C-alpha cells in the first residue's frame, strides 16, 4: 500500500470497518495512475466514511452532509484539468443529496463518485437509511424496515451515468482497479462500495455477490440485479 | 405638474410587449438627451393580466416613481377603470383603440407591432424627432421584423400630434440606461468572475440571461447546488457567483455557513421581494436584512453590501469580489426587485470612469514549506492556496491550522477568534448627502437611495445618511448621529429592521417609516411622510 499519501492523523473508524480498505484503494489508485497529489481534489460527505478527509494527503475538502457532489462539480467546472472525486455515504447520497446524484449523472459532470454504502446511518448510531435492506431491523429504532432500499446503481442507470461499478469491501484489488479506471474516465463515474457497518448492520442478511468480468452492453439489463459486482457498465 | 419631470404610464396585458416599449423608449429618450426611469409592475403570469410600466422623463438624473402620472397609455380598454386613479388632475389618457392605433394598416396586418406603433405615437406626443426612433428600431430589430416595426412606428408617429406642454429639451451629454441586474452582471465579469450557477427566480433571473452570454453558467437542480458549486469553483481558485431571492436564500444558508467556516470567498446576490414564503413574487421589499445578517448556524464573519443606484451597484459588485478574496468570507450583495429590474439612466462617463481594481488577497507562495491552510496570523487572514499548487485540507468541521478536524478547546478558541477578527479593519460603509450640519436626519439603506435623493433636490435642509454596507454595521455612524435631534429611517419592510439595528448598535433612538406592500415609496407619498415626521 502506498505510504506517500498518508497524513499524521489516526483514523476514527471502528476495527474492521470497510472504510480502511476504501481509503487504501483510493491512495493506491492515485499513486498507480501517477497523479500528483496536489492535482487531486477529494470532496467528502459528512459521516463515518467522510472522516477519511483527515487521512489522505491530497487537496481534501470536508464539505456538508449530502453536498460533496455540488462542491466537486463546482471544482471541476472551474478547473477541468484537476482530478475530482466526490465521496459520499448512503445517507449523504441516497437520503440527503439524492437530487445532486441524479442531476450530476444526467449532466455527465466529469467527477468520480465513491459511495461508501454501509447500509445504515452509522455515526448517529444505527438509524435506517434509504439503503437499509428490506425487513432488516435497525438497532436504533428496533423496528423492521418495511420499505425496499434505493439502489444507487439503478438510479445511475436511469439518470444516464456513463460508468457504473459496484465492489464489495472484501476485494481491495478489484476496488483499486475500478477506482483507477474511474478517476481517468471522461465523464460521470459511480463506484459503489458495499461495506455493511460492522456495528449497526452486522445482523443484516449478507448479499451473495456474483462477479462479472465483462460490462453489460445494455445498461437497462442491470436494473434490479443488486448482487452483481465489477465494472457493470462503461460507455466509452 | 412638475415642469421638470414628465411621468407616463403604459398598461397592457402580459405578452403585449410593454417591457419592449419601455426599453425602446428609454433608449430613444437617452439618445435625445433625457434621463429616464422605467418602473415596471407586473403580476406573476405569462399572458393576460395587467403589466404596466411607469416611465419618468427629465433633464436631471434623480428620478423616482410617482403615485400619479401626466399621461396614461392603454393597450387594452379593459384596464381603463383600474388606472383612472393613476392620472393627475390635469393629466391625459390615450388608448390604442380610441387613438385609432388599433386601426392602423400595419397593426391590423401584424398585431404584434402594436406596441411599436404606440411607441411612435408617444414619441410624437413628446414632440421628438422620428429619426431618433427609426435609428433605435433599426438597431433593436435588425434581425427580425424590421420593416413591420419601422412601418408601425411611422404610422403611429404620423397619427399623433405633439402636446406642447410636454415638449422637453434634453441635455448634451451621452446618457445610457440599464437595470441593476445588467450592471451587476457586467461588473461581475469585469471583476473576473468566470463561473455562475443560478436557479431562476424573480428578481435576479435577468442576471442569468446577461451572464450566460459571457461566462460559464449553470441552471442547476436547486439553489443548494447553485451555492455549493459556487463554493467549489471559488475554492478551486476562480471567481464565482450565485444569485437568488429569499426563498432560494433559505436553501443557501448551509453553503454560506460552509464558506464562513472553511474560509472560502463566496459572493451571492440576494434580490429581495416581499415574503414571507411565496409572498408577492414580482414586487419589491427590503425585508431580508435580518435574515441576511443572521443566516446560517453558529457565528462567522460576513459582509453585506446594499447598493442604492447603478453607479454604486457597479462599484460594490467589484468590491464584493475583492472583499471576498481579501477576507476569505461570504459577501452578500443585497438588492431588491426595484433596483434589479428598474431601468435607470445615468451619464455614460459615470460608468466608464469606474476603476477596475482586482485584489485576490493573501496568496500561497511557491517557496512556502509546510503550508497550513488555516495558519494563525495577526489579522486572522491566512495565505490562500489553490488546488494544483500544494496539497492542503479544507474543512467544514472545526479544525487546526493544517485543517485537520478537532474538538480541542484551545484550538477551537483560537480558530473562532481568528475567523471573527478578520473583518475588524473595515471602515466607512455610508455616505452623507444634503445639509451635513442639519439636526434632522433621514436614514436609508440600499435601493431607497433613488427614492430619497430626488426629494433632497427640492428640500436641502435635511441630512441624508445612506448606508451601503449594512454589515458589519458601520459603527462610525454613531459619531454622525451624536448631534442629531431627530432621525427617521425609511425602509421597505414591516417592522423597521434597520431602525432597530441602529438603535442596538449606536444607542441612538430613531423612528422607522416603513412600507411593506411591494411598491417603493412614491414621490408624493415620501414627501408627505417626511414632512409629517421631521
Task: For A122-145, write each residue's pLDDT tens digit.
Answer: 999 999 999 999 999 988 888 999
For residue A133, the model assigns a pLDDT of 96
* Coil, helix or strand at residue A228: strand
Q: Which residue's entry shows cell 429618450?
A: B29
Q: Does domain B180-352 have CATH number 3.40.50.970?
A: yes
CB A75 within 8 A of CB A45: no
Nearest CA distance, B401 vs chain A (angstrom): 13
Cβ within 8 Å of residue B411, ≥6 positions away: B398, B399, B400
Confidence category of residue B346, pLDDT binned at 50, 70, 90: very high
CB B292 within 8 A of CB B526: no
Report the distance separating Cα B449 and Cα B305, nearest Å: 14
φ, ψ of residue B453 to 5 degrees: the values are -55, -45
Contact A79 B392 (CB under 8 A): no
Q: Which residues of A touch B387 (CB under 8 A)?
A: 38-39, 41, 59, 75, 79, 82
Res. B166: pLDDT tops 80: no
* Coil, helix or strand at residue A215: coil
CB B180 within 8 A of CB B334: no
Cβ within 8 Å of residue A172, ≥6 positions away: A21, A24, A25
Write the pLDDT tens digit of every residue in A105-126. Answer: 999 999 999 999 999 999 999 9
Write the pLDDT tens digit of every residue in B259-308. Answer: 999 999 999 999 999 999 999 999 999 999 999 999 999 999 999 999 99
Lowest mean pLDDT among A98-102, B14-18, B115-119, B220-224: B14-18
Burial of B339 (0-12, 13-18, 19+ CB in 10 A): buried
Contact A75 B387 (CB under 8 A): yes
3-state DSSP of B498-529:
HHHHHHHHHCCCCEEEECCCCCCCCHHHHHHH
Q: Residue A58: closest CA among chain B residues belongs to which residue?
A: B391
For residue A112, the model assigns a pLDDT of 98
Average pLDDT over residues B385-395: 98
State the CB neighbour count (10 A cutoff) for residue B343: 23
Q: Which residues of A touch B240 (CB under 8 A)?
A: 74, 78
Nearest CA distance, A100 vs chain B (angstrom): 7
Phi-psi region of B277 (alpha: psi -120 to 50; beta: other; left: phi over 0): left
Cβ within 8 Å of residue B458, ≥6 positions away: none
Confidence category of residue B1, pLDDT binned at 50, 70, 90: very low
Confidence category of residue A60, pLDDT binned at 50, 70, 90: very high
Write the pLDDT tens digit of every residue in B232-269. Answer: 999 999 999 999 999 999 999 999 999 999 999 999 99
Q: Which of A71, A73, A82 sits opposite B388 (nearest CB)?
A: A82
CATH of domain B430-533: 3.40.50.920
For residue A4, the model assigns a pLDDT of 80
Contact A79 B237 (CB under 8 A): yes
Report the distance separating Cα A20 and Cα A52, nearest Å: 9
Contact B391 A100 (CB under 8 A): no
* Coil, helix or strand at residue B186: helix
Confidence category of residue A2, pLDDT binned at 50, 70, 90: low
φ, ψ of residue B503 to 5 degrees: the values are -60, -45
Write the pLDDT tens digit of every residue in B198-223. Answer: 999 999 999 999 999 999 999 999 99
State the CB neighbour count (10 A cutoff) for residue A137: 13
Report the distance separating Cα B469 and Cα B316, nearest Å: 9
Report the distance separating Cα B161 and Cα B159, nearest Å: 7
Write the pLDDT tens digit of every residue in B306-328. Answer: 999 999 999 999 999 999 999 99
Q: Which of B236, B391, B397 sits opposite A38 (nearest CB)?
A: B391
Termini Cα distance of chain B: 25
Q: Which residue has the higher pLDDT, A3 or A13?
A: A13
Cell numbers describing residue B208: 442569468
Q: Which of B197, B393, B396 sits opposite A63 (nearest CB)?
A: B396
CB B488 within 8 A of CB B457: no
Classify domain B5-172 at the CATH class level. Answer: alpha beta
Q: What pTM did the predictor assign? A: 0.97
For residue B458, the model assigns a pLDDT of 76
Q: Which residues of B touch A46 (CB under 8 A)?
A: 396
Confidence category of residue B169, pLDDT binned at 50, 70, 90: confident
For residue B49, the model assigns a pLDDT of 86
Contact A54 B405 (CB under 8 A): yes
B430-533 and B180-352 share a CATH fold: yes
Query: Where do the domains of chain B lie?
Result: 5-172, 180-352, 366-425, 430-533
Phi-psi region of A209 (alpha: psi -120 to 50; beta: other; left: phi over 0): beta
Could you tell me whether strands B239-245 and B266-272 are parallel, antiparallel, or unpaired per DSSP bridges? parallel
* B249, HSE (Cβ side, Cα atoms, 13 Å): 32
Q: Which residue has the higher pLDDT, B26 or B45?
A: B26
Residue B486: which H helix or E strand, with range? Answer: strand B486-491
Substitution target in B241, B370, B391, B407 with the highest count of A β-carbons within 10 Å is: B391
Q: Map out the domains of chain A with their CATH numbers.
A: 19-234 (3.40.50.970)
Confidence category of residue B3, pLDDT binned at 50, 70, 90: low
| Closest among B282, B281, B273, B336 to B309, alpha carbons compared | B336
Report the distance separating Cα B55 and Cα B26, nearest Å: 8
Lowest mean pLDDT among A79-88, B40-49, B69-78, B153-162: B40-49
For residue B369, the model assigns a pLDDT of 86
Q: Which of A37, A75, A81 sits opposite B391 (nearest CB)?
A: A37
Q: Which residues of B touch A7 (CB under 8 A)?
A: 404
Q: Which residues of B touch A70 (CB under 8 A)?
A: 220, 224-225, 227-229, 232
Amino acid at each position: 500500500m502506498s505510504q506517500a499519501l498518508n497524513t499524521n492523523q489516526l483514523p476514527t473508524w471502528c476495527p474492521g470497518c470497510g472504510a480502511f480498505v476504501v481509503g487504501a484503494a483510493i491512495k493506491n489508485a492515485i499513486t498507480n495512475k501517477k497523479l500528483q497529489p496536489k492535482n487531486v481534489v477529494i470532496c467528502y460527505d459528512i459521516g463515518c466514511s467522510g472522516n477519511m478527509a483527515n487521512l489522505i494527503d491530497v487537496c481534501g475538502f470536508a464539505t456538508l452532509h449530502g453536498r460533496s457532489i455540488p462542491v466537486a462539480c463546482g471544482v471541476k467546472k472551474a478547473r477541468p484539468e484537476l482530478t475530482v472525486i466526490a465521496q459520499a455515504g448512503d445517507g449523504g447520497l441516497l437520503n440527503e443529496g439524492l437530487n445532486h446524484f441524479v442531476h450530476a449523472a444526467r449532466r455527465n459532470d466529469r467527477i468520480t463518485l465513491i459511495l461508501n454504502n454501509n447500509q445504515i446511518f452509522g455515526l448517529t448510531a444505527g438509524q435506517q437509511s434509504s439503503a437499509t435492506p428490506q425487513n432488516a431491523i435497525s438497532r436504533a429504532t428496533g423496528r423492521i424496515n418495511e420499505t425496499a432500499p434505493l439502489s444507487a446503481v439503478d438510479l445511475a442507470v436511469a439518470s444516464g451515468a456513463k460508468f457504473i461499478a459496484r465492489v464489495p469491501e472484501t476485494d481491495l484489488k478489484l476496488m483499486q482497479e475500478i477506482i483507477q479506471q474511474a478517476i481517468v474516465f471522461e465523464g460521470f463515474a459511480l463506484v459503489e462500495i458495499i461495506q455493511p457497518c460492522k456495528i449497526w448492520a452486522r445482523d443484516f442478511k449478507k448479499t451473495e455477490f456474483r462477479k462479472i468480468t465483462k460490462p453489460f452492453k445494455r445498461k437497462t439489463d442491470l436494473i434490479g440485479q443488486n448482487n452483481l459486482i465489477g465494472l457493470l457498465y462503461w460507455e466509452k | 405638474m412638475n415642469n421638470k419631470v414628465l411621468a407616463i404610464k403604459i398598461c397592457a396585458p402580459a405578452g403585449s410587449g410593454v417591457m419592449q416599449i419601455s426599453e425602446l423608449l428609454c433608449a430613444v429618450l437617452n439618445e435625445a438627451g433625457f434621463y429616464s426611469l422605467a418602473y415596471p409592475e407586473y403580476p406573476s403570469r405569462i399572458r393576460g393580466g395587467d403589466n404596466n410600466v411607469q416611465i419618468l422623463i427629465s433633464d436631471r438624473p434623480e428620478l423616482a416613481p410617482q403615485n400619479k402620472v401626466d399621461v396614461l397609455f392603454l393597450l387594452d380598454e379593459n384596464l381603463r377603470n383600474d388606472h383612472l386613479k393613476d392620472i393627475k388632475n390635469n393629466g391625459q389618457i390615450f388608448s390604442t383603440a380610441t387613438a385609432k392605433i388599433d386601426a392602423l394598416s400595419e397593426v391590423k396586418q401584424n398585431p404584434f407591432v402594436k406596441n411599436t406603433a404606440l411607441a411612435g405615437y408617444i414619441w410624437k406626443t413628446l414632440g421628438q424627432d422620428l429619426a431618433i426612433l427609426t435609428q433605435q428600431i433599426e438597431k433593436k430589430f435588425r434581425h427580425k421584423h424590421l420593416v413591420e416595426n419601422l412601418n408601425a412606428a411611422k404610422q403611429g408617429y404620423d397619427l399623433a400630434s405633439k402636446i406642447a406642454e410636454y415638449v422637453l429639451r434634453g441635455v448634451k451629454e451621452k446618457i445610457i440606461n440599464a437595470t441593476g441586474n445588467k450592471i451587476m452582471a457586467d461588473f461581475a465579469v469585469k471583476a473576473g468572475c468566470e463561473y455562475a450557477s443560478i436557479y431562476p427566480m424573480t428578481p435576479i433571473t435577468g442576471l442569468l440571461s446577461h451572464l450566460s452570454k459571457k461566462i460559464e453558467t449553470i441552471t442547476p437542480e436547486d439553489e443548494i447546488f447553485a451555492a455549493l458549486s459556487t463554493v467549489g469553483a471559488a475554492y478551486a481558485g476562480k471567481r464565482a457567483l450565485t444569485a437568488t431571492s429569499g426563498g432560494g436564500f433559505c436553501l443557501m444558508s448551509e453553503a454560506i455557513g460552509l464558506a464562513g467556516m472553511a474560509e472560502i470567498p463566496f459572493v451571492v446576490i440576494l434580490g429581495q421581494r416581499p415574503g414571507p414564503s411565496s409572498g408577492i413574487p414580482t414586487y419589491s421589499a427590503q425585508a431580508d436584512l435580518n435574515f441576511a445578517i443572521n443566516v446560517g448556524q453558529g457565528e462567522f464573519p460576513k459582509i453585506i453590501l446594499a447598493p442604492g443606484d447603478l453607479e454604486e451597484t457597479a462599484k460594490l459588485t467589484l468590491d464584493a469580489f475583492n472583499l471576498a478574496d481579501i477576507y476569505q468570507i461570504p459577501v452578500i450583495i443585497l438588492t431588491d426587485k426595484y433596483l434589479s429590474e428598474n431601468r435607470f439612466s445615468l451619464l455614460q462617463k459615470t460608468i466608464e470612469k469606474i476603476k477596475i481594481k482586482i485584489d485576490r488577497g493573501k496568496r500561497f507562495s511557491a517557496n512556502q514549506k509546510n503550508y497550513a491552510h488555516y495558519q494563525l496570523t495577526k489579522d486572522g487572514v491566512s495565505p490562500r492556496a489553490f488546488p494544483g499548487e500544494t496539497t492542503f485540507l479544507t474543512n467544514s468541521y472545526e479544525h487546526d491550522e493544517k485543517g485537520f478536524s478537532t474538538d480541542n478547546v484551545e484550538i477551537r478558541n483560537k480558530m473562532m477568534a481568528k475567523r471573527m477578527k478578520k473583518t475588524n479593519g473595515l471602515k466607512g460603509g455610508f455616505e452623507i448627502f444634503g445639509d451635513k450640519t442639519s439636526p434632522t436626519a433621514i436614514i436609508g439603506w440600499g435601493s431607497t437611495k433613488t427614492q430619497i435623493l430626488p426629494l433632497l433636490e427640492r428640500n436641502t435642509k435635511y441630512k441624508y445618511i445612506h448606508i451601503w454596507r449594512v454589515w458589519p454595521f458601520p459603527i462610525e455612524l454613531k459619531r454622525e448621529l451624536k448631534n442629531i435631534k431627530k432621525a427617521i429611517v425609511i425602509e421597505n419592510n414591516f417592522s423597521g429592521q434597520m431602525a432597530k439595528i441602529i438603535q442596538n448598535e449606536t444607542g441612538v433612538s430613531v423612528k422607522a417609516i416603513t412600507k411593506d406592500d411591494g411598491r417603493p415609496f412614491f414621490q408624493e407619498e415620501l414627501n408627505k411622510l417626511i414632512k409629517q415626521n421631521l
